[in-house]
Amino acid sequence: MTSGRLAARQFGWFALSAAASTASAAETQTGAIDNTFATIAFSLAGALLLGLVLRPACFAAWRFATRALARRRLTGILSDAGVEVLDDVILPSACEGLTRVDHIVLTAGGVICVQTNHQSGTVFGEPDDPQWAWIEGARRRQFLNPVIQNQGHVKAIRKAVPGLPVASVVVFCSSVHFASEQPAHVVSVSGLPAWLEKLHFDDAGIEDWDTTWLRLKAAALTDEDSRRDFDAQLSFG
């Protein structure tokens, strides 16, 4: 075999080896890219699935935190507005049964009966409608007209202490938008201070507010049996 033919054969073997190595490297690189893409796709799908699973829990936690902050702010506003505040008060109803008042605030001229609501989104309802409705995204629900509810609370307070001047206000603790005109005496937590500044009581001729307030506190049912009776009344209703 001549040296030229030997050199050509060696060159051929070298070329084949180089081509095989190049192909193998290209295949390895392509496989790495495919694996990386698969890993990214799997991670994105997992993150999406995890988000869908955790979304209700995150939304519930957000609503809980928002309500807690709103209640804390409301408590501060009511404490600043009055001399004393009663919370979660059960009273004999003006008609029959029991009723629960969210907050009763003693001021220099009378008491304020506060009804709180936590619906958010868009609210539909007129002052005289027995029920209102709210829509938030895909959710829709009806609830009792809080204005009418609080009128019943006011009557219960006046039944406990006849002649006591009582003002009614409904406070929405979450962000709401009324589809029609917002009813009177219905405010948000942020709008409550302005409402309180405009509040005026007619002179009721009460000279001893301390005794009057004690009478109202004495009318409140604080025993566990009354609480259970009220809960049973709600369940039956």
Tens-digit pLDDT profile for residues 94-121: 988 999 999 999 998 999 999 999 888 8
- 83 versus 27: which is more confidently predicted? 83
Q: Which residue range forms the structural domain that includes residue 115?
A: 82-236
Q: Express each pLDDT in 56-68 by its tens digit.
A: 565 456 555 666 7
Within-domain flag for 89: yes
Within-domain flag for 74: no
Within-domain flag for 144: yes
Please, what is the angle between helix 146-160 and helix 209-219, to 10°? 110
Within-domain flag for 75: no
What's this model's pTM, rounded to 2 decimal places?
Answer: 0.72
> What would the mean pLDDT of 7-12 be, rounded to a whole number?
46
- The dihedral of CA 209, 212, 214, 220: what is its sign? negative
Residues 150 and 194 in one domain: yes
Within-domain flag for 33: yes
Strands 98-106 and 84-92: antiparallel
Residues 20 and 59 in one domain: yes
Q: Express each pLDDT in 118-165 by its tens digit.
A: 888 899 999 999 999 999 888 889 999 999 999 999 999 999 999 999
Residues 224 and 142 in one domain: yes
Residues 210 and 102 in one domain: yes
Q: How many domains does the chain have?
A: 2
Going through the chain in order, the beta strands assigned E by DSSP cover 84-92, 98-106, 111-117, 121-124, 131-136, 139-144, 166-172, 176-178, 186-188
